[in-house]
Structure 1
Amino acid sequence: MKFIDKGKQANKKLYRKWMVISLSAIMAALAAMWFYIHDWNVEQSMRALAEAVAIEETATEAPKEEAAMPVEPEETETSVEEEPAAEEKTDATIYPADSALPEAPTVINGVLLANKQHPLPATYAPGEVPEARAAFETMKAAAAENGLNLSAFSTYRDFARQKQLYEGYTAKDGQEAADRYSARPGYSEHQTGLAFDIGEAGKEQHWASASFGDTKGGKWLAANAHAYGFILRYPEGSEHITGYMHESWHFRYVGKDVAADIHQKGITLEEYLGVQ
């Protein structure tokens, strides 16, 4: 058995007792001070104590990351491009307000154009174009094999001659009516030297008349002229495109390739050149 020192045991008990008393005294002093600070109001003191404990607990907790709030997408103005207004087409039947004639003729893709929107210089005077005349003679020979005697009764007209004719038509029928079938000076295809008014010899009653389109010669030309480089310049129903009323006798030389394309597509010279 071990020897137990009763003196040491007594000292330990005394030390524990003293510590308990000291701690109790300290706590009592702190409590008294707390109540004193809060005017000896027990309820207020206890509430303050609870808040202090709560604050301490909150402070000791690990900080939490705040949940990211969803960000509303910013509204952006959407610019809507306005559709370009449809380009207004020029009224082919009306002459432009500016009556000044150009210094040079209009040539598009190698094709000379003369109409109410594309006039010629007053000094433009090529005469009857030899290539066009040669093509007509070849076509005349082919028509003769079919019993037809074609005649080009009006081809090249210079500025002065066209002016004389137009003024005569205007005096007779009025300007509005004359503008439908006769070109003003400087605007006539006949001034290009490439336009041929065609009829049948011996059947002059149909020359420069709508009735020519119903004759054998008129029908043959409508079906075959493109093979020789000519097109029916003012087809029926195309006045709003060409600017002039239908003329079954008026043919224009443009060359075989262009004529074949226009005939095959059933379009006008303006449509072929993309000016309408």
Structure 2
Amino acid sequence: MKFLDQFKQKNKKFYIKWTVIGMSAIMAALAALWLYINDWDAQQSMNALVETVTVEEPATEAPKEQVTKVPESPEVVEEPTEEKPVIEEPVEETVTDATVYSEKALPKEPTIINGILLANKQHPLPETYAPGEVPEAHAAFEAMKAEAAKVGINLNAFSTYRNFARQKQLYESYVAKDGQQAADRYSARPGYSEHQTGLSFDIGESGQEQHWASASFGDTEGGKWLAVNAHNYGFILRYPEGKEKITGYMHESWHFRYVGKDVATQIYEKGITLEEYLGVN
């Protein structure tokens, strides 16, 4: 056993010696190889060796600025508003009956619209209004009468201007005869008569007196001529047939009102009344 321990100790030294010698040889060989690679330049070899073993530290990047992201507001989706159907309530139409008299007291001034004097059951005249027969209207009638005479028609204005007192007398006589309800259809109460304006003419044909102030006048030659020619002289048929609810009075084929040629022509061509032309009831 002692012999064996001595042999192992001796061989251990032998192994260590040759191991050192082998490592040295290997190092020398590597050094020679390194010098050979660098053209046997010792300084160049050392520099290359340093560069090889030097570990390049990674460049330090500047810290990125931290951006705080603001959360987006959730999109608000508007819910469609349900449209409720609009229910229109029926509007009661107010119909003014022009045959009914105004209950207001007589005014202090007459009603003039667009330069035209208006007198009806809703627009009365002052009791003191007394212009007489208007000269312009009288001249227009005379010119119309002269023209009608050329075709053998002899016109006669049998009733023109009437003042308040005269109209009061006539109206009361009609009421006594036919009653107020009937009288109100064909005769005006005092203060409401167009004859008080001095612009209205009750016209008949001489020799045809039986048709004066009668619906039958419209069937005579004089009545027919006036119906199609009066506007040329500034007159209109004041109370046409079928317009009682607008004018307030029954049809009177003999009652003409002076309004001037231009207005009379427009009313005639449109087939309307004075109230409709002025836009009033």
TM-score (norm 1): 0.72
Q: CA deviation at 1:90?
A: 1.8
Equivalent residue, structure 1, for 2:153: 148
- Taking the aligned partners of 2:255 and 2:204, their CA distance within structure 1 comes to 9
Question: How far 1:66 moved relative to its partner?
Answer: 8.6
Residue 199 of structure 1: which of 196, 204, 209 is its match?
204
Root-mean-square deviation (CA), in Å? 2.7
Judged with a 3 Å threshold, the aligned counterparts in structure 2 of structure 1 residues 271 and 67 are, in CA distance, closer, same or farther, namely closer
The one-letter amino acid of 1:122's match is E
Give matches, 1:92-107, under 5 Å.
Answer: 92-98=98-104, 100-107=105-112
Gap change, CA 1:66 and 1:243, over 3 Å in 2:
same
Whether 1:231 and 2:263 are equivalent positions in the alignment is no
Alpha-carbon distance in structure 2 between the residues aligned to 1:81 and 1:126: 55
Aligned partners of 1:206, 1:167: CA distance in 2, in Å? Answer: 23
Q: Look up the match of 2:218.
A: 213
Q: Following TM superposition, by how much is the alpha carbon of 1:72 offset from its aligned partner in structure 2, in angstroms?
A: 3.8
1:242 maps to which of 247, 255, 259: 247
Q: How does 1:1-276 map to 2 (within 5 A)?
A: 2=23, 68=74, 71-73=77-79, 75=81, 85=91, 88-98=94-104, 100-276=105-281
Q: Name whichever of 205-214 and 85-94 sits farther off.
A: 85-94
What secondary structure does 1:252 align onto? strand
User: 1:257 & 1:176 partners in 2: Cα distance?
Assistant: 36
Give the share of equivalent positions with the same residue, in percent.
75
Q: Greater CA deviation, 170-179 or 71-80?
A: 71-80
- 5+ residue gaps, structure 2: 1-21, 25-68
Q: Which residue of 2 aligns with 1:51?
A: none
- Work out which of the two has the higher radius of gyration on C-alpha atoms and give 1 or 2: 2
Query: Which stretches in structure 1 are left out of the alignment for 5+ residues?
Result: 4-62
Q: Distance in 1 between matches of 2:263 and 2:279?
A: 13
